[in-house]
Structure 1
Amino acid sequence: MQTNLDKLFRSLTMLALLVGVGSHAFAQNATGSIKGVVKDQNDAVVTSAVVAATNKATGAVRKMNAGGDGIYALENLPPGEYEVKAESQGFSTQIQTLTVEVGATTTANFSMTVGTVTQVVEVTADAPVINTTDTVVGGVIGRQQVENLPTNGRSFLSIALLEPGVSVGYVAQSGAGNVNNFFQVSIGSAPQSMTVISVDGSRINDRVTGGTSQNFSAETVQEFQISTLAFDLSAGTVSAGAVNIVSRTGTNSFHGGTFLFFRDHNMSAFPGYKRPTEPRANGLPQNVLCLIPTSQSCARALDPFFVRRQYGGTIGGPIKKDKLFFFGNYERTDQVGANAITFDDPILGGFNHIAQQPFKQHLGNVRLDYTVNSKHTAFLRASVDNNNSVSGGNTLESNWIASDNYAYQTQLGVTSVLKATLVNDFRFSFSYLRNRLAPPTQAQCESIAGNPDFCFGLNGVRPTIIGVTFGNSINVPQDRHPHTYQWTDNVNWTKGAHRVRFGGNWEHNFDHGTWNQNYKGSFSTFSPAQVLASNPTLYATLPASLKPGGSGATISDLLKLPVNGTLLIGIGDPGQPARPYNYDKILRNDLLRFYAQDAWQMFPGFTLSYGLGWSFESNILYHDITLPQYLAPLLPANDLNRTIDQRYKNFDPALGFAHISPQTDFYKLNQRVLFGPAGNGLSSFSGAGLPNPKAGQPGQPALLNFSSPANFTAQDMINNLALFNSQLIASNPFKGTDLAVRGINIVKTVQGGQGLDAIYDNDSARFPYTFQVDVGVQREIRRNLSVSADYVMRRGVGFGAGFSGFDQFFVDLNRWNRFSDYALVPTSGAVNPASLVRSPVIPQLYRSRWTSGSRATSN
């Protein structure tokens, strides 16, 4: 049986080396290493020394012989506590106990004394506080901190705040731009969507909107590393920071526990700087719910209801001592928050209230670790996140969003010691996210609102009247179903004073979904003051509750206000991507990355690091679409009737040295986030060209476009909605000349300037990238106390105007040839040359973002 297992793992190891020699553009190294030199008391190297590191939790042993220069390096070690033993004939055996951290190199030097091998000397030494090998800027949060520090909602990611330059935000609701990303980590003031987050070496980022696609319990986490700058090439294409998480494992002893956390509004401070009853400059209270300070609504505002219950447990231990281990954990969260919905206009006073905001979540994780023999170890992990919520903003509950998320990841890892100086680490993972956003059900809506009147318009058209919005959110229903397969392989080779790493990664994404954007329609009305100013006769017919001094306005009263402008409604295929043009191809995307680097210890205390990475993404541009003749006004003549070239020149060089070290790193950004498809197949149509059903009556325009108040009310719009929808569908048939994704309709507009890049994409357009430099110094000022200071600089090119605030710091050279506006000829779908407007952008000098300080930052 053992022979068969050995054959199986040898086969897996060879497959790993053949399939991908390295780490993908977003992969993380989930292991650490031990490095040192063995000398005698006269400072001469001991070339015959054998160094063995034993994992104290699992008993796993890794051995190697020190080289001719006395140097040894034990690579790809799981984080944890180790006993490191050095033996050599004629010398006493020495033992050190130390801790290996994720993504870090721990130094363990030995000074051997003359004696016999049977004599054991246990060396008691302080853990090194100076890292003389690596040039990464960042830190590690260990299990003790995760377990004992207070955290918001028991989220371990909130502890990332301890690292300089890191901020963590909490978003309580799930929505179109934030489907399963509640704790958002921003590094160096970059957008949180650009932070790369991985678990055990596999990325868990949302491939559409950034941030996390799956949440993990704090009980799952052994430790995590935060890299803020000067990333190791094995970390992948990272431009704004990375979080590298390692999950817990079973050990040779059984251990476990249960927990219950409870917090409610009675145990919490008031969530604001000013009390709701304190006056504002206009004399009104901070919260209009407290216009009557003794009212029940004011009492709820002074002490908003909140309750959070979290409970679960862990269990782990050996299945077979020193061979097979298990660990599992489960956590459940039941939470009800409070959301104050208030409107300053006295007319809307009856709609002021505090709504409930429920959230439920189940988190589960199981991991098996297997020591096959002295050369091969493996693990298998499965993690699940299932949560649902109903949430919204300052709108009535019929406009809120009910979210249902189910995410899981399965991962296999195999570490093989091919020989003492050559270690291969292979990882495969499969991730899936099912997100559904929909209007709340009638029962859900009434439960959170406490008043069925606030659920008016549920799953219907969305009016905005005076300032209150109700009806279907314009972003729902929608769903997404990304499937991600990741193959990652890292090889570590120690050759004398060189530590060579090389590898590669292949990430295959398969994604589809729907987005029924504004499919129920939306419109707005004139306010009573606007009606009075423009049409006093019509104003006289309005209910008294809508006039000065009036109160208790109802939804029925609000619907008597006249429509302002026209109806906007989504029509077409809500699928993402839209059918039929190249549907199967657009569903898929492949990301490839290969890298090689070397850390060369040229002499004691000085390590030179250098390397090169290369990245490629297969389906980031519309490279399979020929550019047709009707785009002639947008394109140079030689761009017509040709396809867009693939981009193969995405190289990432890196150079640095330690320990007082300037370092220059070049990296590319996650191109998929920046250069996604131009948009969604369901297009927004205006009803401005439709006939007005009341045309011919006094004061009524001929078309459904109201520039001044007329006797066409919000209720009239609702009553005729089905008619308007059918007229728009009939008047806008598909003619096969869509500009963005062929197969939708001719009047589809491209969403933003970068969408236009994706269409014409002339040779001046380029992938964005950052240029990064850091200079740092570390100083041990006393035992177990060190101070470090870093100057870091990050410059970027080609990120795009308005990209999540990055345009404040980075120049967008792609804007040279970008068109800011254009129009189509309705009958043909061709571009009207007279409508073209070029963006008059002139490239500026680079701007940079810099931080400095002694483990602190100044932005």
Structure 2
Amino acid sequence: MRRFFASLTLVLLVALGSGQLAQAQSGSTTSSLTGNILDEQGNTIPGAVLVVKNLQTSFVREIRSQEDGAYLVTQLPPGSYEVNISAEGFNTQNTRLDLVLGSTALANFSMKIGATSDIIEVVASTSIDEGKTESSSNIDRGNIDSLPINRRNFLDFSLTTPRAVTDRTPQQGITVSSMLAFNGQNARFNNITTDGLDNNEPVGGSVRSNFSQDSVQEFQVVSDSFSAEFGRATAGIVNIVTRGGGNEFHGSTFLFLRNEAIAARDAFSTIKPEFKQYQFGSLLSGPIKKEKAFFFLSFERLSVKQNNIITINDQSVATARRQGFSLRNGPVPVGQATTSILARTDLRLTPNDTLWVRYNYGGSFNGAAEPFGALVGETNGGVQEAAENALAANNTYLNVGLNLVNETRFLASKRDLDLSIIGNDPQVQIFAPEGRIVFGRSSFLPQFRELETIQFINNTSISRGRQQIKFGVDLKYLTFTAPLAFFATGLSIFAPLDLSAFTGTTTVLSGLQSFDPLARTPAQRAALTTLSQTLPQFVSGFPANVPIQDLAFPSFI
């Protein structure tokens, strides 16, 4: 099955009036800063110069306040900034602010009359943005670094935000979801973006690329009322931005080890099976040329060796083996592994033109992607292998004279995902004494998917004081190939079978006895021998003397 998808979204957001800036979110990759510049008597100061400098990269933006003293700085990468405000006849002020992803910070300044050469360090007056309409929370770099998390899956931090819970939908098959449910919706209805670009599997709604926790700058979780430019979601949005380098070199390395020595024995296993978990990674970032070009590199690897416990009893295992099926019980070794690599380069082409390019690779292996264990045999499972290569770019251009900011984003990615079979025996389900046991090839395997994505986004925002006009286009082209297999080797179900009406005596076969003639008692075999001689009386055209005592009796095929 080969399908092509194309989507085109045109968004026009207009904020008018003289009150607070009416915008839902500042953008999927940036922050905004707005406020008023006044004197000590509360009078507006038009034409005040406001210079915003990124402390990591020394990137500078400069604007002037409008006639009403209002200002708006859009399309600022999230991070720490130094803000310098100057006006003729007033003391120059400096302050520091932290801007978070997708939010508009409100900072008002009161300037004192004095010599322009004086510099006063102040703390900006910040308050809640009254123009905010969405319900959102931000997980910044500090939280990502300090909060404990299992297997370093940073998306789990989303569970600390309101309206987000773990999705209880069974996670199996070729596309596992983010497992984040917002407002009671299925996790497959979310929209996951990275650097403002799509990161979703289009058919199953799963997360496409995995990233190292160290490569994430911060992310925003939006549960409802999100801006139109985010779109394509009936549940929630997780908006992720990756890290870039700065003027200083930084590096780190981590290693996590865990084994069976500090793990309890499984209650269903007579021995303590092997368990080993290794997780390690490293990052390096810094300047290629200070204040001009920067790099960021990260690598992370997770490797897990563990066991799934199969609790099918020995009698059922022996019965299946007598019929030529592959089945075992007890601990069965399985492995899991993920690898993520990210490389990013940031360039300052001109004072008003920036560009970054990112490459990332994500690979994974799961020996029990189609799960087995308990009463499900190993041969009913599936092994998943996935690999994705993606190239993304972002260009931001500022026209100071027009107060115009244009942002262009581009993504090209290819994802290959294979879910293969473990065993090729026909699938069998038996209602045994311990419950319904399942073994043999899964009905829906193998599955193979190939996804190619091309995405182009262009957004333009024009500011006038604290008002903003924003419009843009989002074009996405997908190529999706996915052959599907259904019941390739069939399915047989064996349930208890009552033949008393045909034999004249009490003859009830259990599920195991329906499946395996050798498990039948002498009395049952004698009754079935008699039945084989009388069946032609009940079934027209049935041949006489068929040795049904040696045949299996499935309830469903």
TM-score tier by shorter-chain length is 0.7 to 0.9
Distance 2:171 2:506 in 1: 40
Q: What SS does the aligned partner of 1:393 have? A: coil
Q: Report if the CA contact (8 A) 1:23-1:489 is conserved.
A: no
**AA at the equivalent of 1:478:** Q
Q: What SS does the aligned partner of 2:441 have? A: coil
Q: Report if the CA contact (8 A) 2:169-2:186 is conserved.
A: no
Q: Report if the CA contact (8 A) 1:305-1:337 is conserved.
A: yes
Distance 1:269 1:490 in 2: 54
1:407 paired with 2:388, answer yes
1:252-288, Cα deviation, whole Å (9 max, x unpaired): 00001110012334445789xxxx4xxxxxxxxxxxx
Picking from 339, 347, 360, the partner of 1:370 is: 347
**AA at the equivalent of 2:289:** K
| Alpha-carbon distance, 1:559 to partner | 7.2
| Alpha-carbon distance, 1:422 to partner | 1.1
1:355 paired with 2:332, answer yes
1:307 paired with 2:305, answer no
1:462 paired with 2:427, answer yes
1:338 paired with 2:338, answer no
Q: What does residue 747 of structure 1 align with?
A: none
Q: Which has the higher contact order (CA 8 A, sep 6+)?
A: 2
Distance 1:269 1:205, change over 3 A: farther
Q: What does residue 155 of structure 1 align with?
A: 153
1:514 paired with 2:509, answer no
Q: What does residue 93 of structure 1 align with?
A: 92
**AA at the equivalent of 1:107:** L
**AA at the equivalent of 2:296:** F
Q: What does residue 118 of structure 2 align with?
A: 119
Distance 1:40 1:268 in 2: 65
Q: What does residue 393 of structure 1 align with?
A: 372
Distance 2:517 2:352 in 1: 75
Distance 1:174 1:385, change over 3 A: farther
Distance 1:74 1:496, change over 3 A: closer
Map 1:501-650; keep pairs closer than 5 Å: 501-527=470-496, 530=497, 558=516
TM-score (norm 2): 0.82
**AA at the equivalent of 2:190:** T
Q: What does residue 422 of structure 1 align with?
A: 404
**AA at the equivalent of 1:380:** V
RMSD over aligned CA atoms reads 3.4
| Alpha-carbon distance, 1:47 to partner | 0.6
Q: What does residue 495 of structure 1 align with?
A: 464
Q: What does residue 474 of structure 1 align with?
A: 443
Q: What does residue 40 of structure 2 align with?
A: 41
Q: What does residue 264 of structure 1 align with?
A: 259
Distance 1:307 1:131, change over 3 A: farther
Q: Report if the CA contact (8 A) 2:107-2:127 is conserved.
A: no
Distance 1:403 1:419, change over 3 A: same
Distance 1:539 1:381, change over 3 A: farther
Picking from 146, 153, 164, the partner of 2:162 is: 164
**AA at the equivalent of 2:227:** D
1:685-710, Cα deviation, whole Å (9 max, x unpaired): xxxxxxxxxxx986486899xxxx95
Map 1:187-336; keep pairs closer than 5 Å: 187-267=182-262, 276=267, 289=268, 297-300=269-272, 305-336=274-305
1:384-413, Cα deviation, whole Å (9 max, x unpaired): 111111112341111110111012221110
Q: Report if the CA contact (8 A) 2:307-2:334 is conserved.
A: yes
TM-score (norm 1): 0.54
Q: Report if the CA contact (8 A) 1:22-1:502 is conserved.
A: yes
Distance 1:502 1:524, change over 3 A: same
Map 1:11-50; keep pairs closer than 5 Å: 29-50=28-49
**AA at the equivalent of 2:275:** F
Distance 1:257 1:217, change over 3 A: same
| Alpha-carbon distance, 1:116 to partner | 2.5
Distance 1:477 1:318 in 2: 47
**Larger helix share, 1 or 2:** 1
**AA at the equivalent of 1:154:** R
**AA at the equivalent of 1:364:** I
| Alpha-carbon distance, 1:174 to partner | 5.6
| Alpha-carbon distance, 1:139 to partner | 0.5
1:664-696, Cα deviation, whole Å (9 max, x unpaired): xxxxxxxxxxxxxxxxxxxxxxxxxxxxxxxx9
| Alpha-carbon distance, 1:536 to partner | 6.4
**Larger strand share, 1 or 2:** 2
| Alpha-carbon distance, 1:459 to partner | 1.2
Q: What does residue 613 of structure 1 align with?
A: none
Q: Report if the CA contact (8 A) 1:542-1:561 is conserved.
A: no
Q: What SS does the aligned partner of 2:483 have? A: strand
Q: Report if the CA contact (8 A) 1:23-1:488 is conserved.
A: no
**AA at the equivalent of 1:130:** I
| Alpha-carbon distance, 1:715 to partner | 10
Q: Report if the CA contact (8 A) 2:174-2:384 is conserved.
A: no
Q: What SS does the aligned partner of 2:350 have? A: coil
Distance 1:171 1:333 in 2: 25
Q: What does residue 50 of structure 2 align with?
A: 51
**AA at the equivalent of 2:48:** A
Q: What does residue 806 of structure 1 align with?
A: none
| Alpha-carbon distance, 1:337 to partner | 3.2
Distance 2:69 2:86 in 1: 12
Distance 2:195 2:417 in 1: 24
Q: Report if the CA contact (8 A) 1:157-1:168 is conserved.
A: no
**AA at the equivalent of 1:462:** Q
Q: Report if the CA contact (8 A) 2:246-2:287 is conserved.
A: yes
| Alpha-carbon distance, 1:356 to partner | 2.7
Q: What SS does the aligned partner of 2:226 have? A: coil
| Alpha-carbon distance, 1:117 to partner | 2.5
Distance 2:444 2:365 in 1: 17
Q: Report if the CA contact (8 A) 1:174-1:389 is conserved.
A: no
Q: What SS does the aligned partner of 2:159 have? A: helix
Q: What does residue 175 of structure 1 align with?
A: 173
Distance 1:189 1:172, change over 3 A: closer
| Alpha-carbon distance, 1:495 to partner | 1.5
Distance 2:51 2:251 in 1: 30
1:718-746, Cα deviation, whole Å (9 max, x unpaired): xxx9xxxxxxxxxxxxxxxxxxxxxxxxx
1:325-365, Cα deviation, whole Å (9 max, x unpaired): 0001001111123322224x784376542323310111111
| Alpha-carbon distance, 1:315 to partner | 0.4
Q: Report if the CA contact (8 A) 1:254-1:317 is conserved.
A: yes
Map 1:644-663; keep pairs closer than 5 Å: none
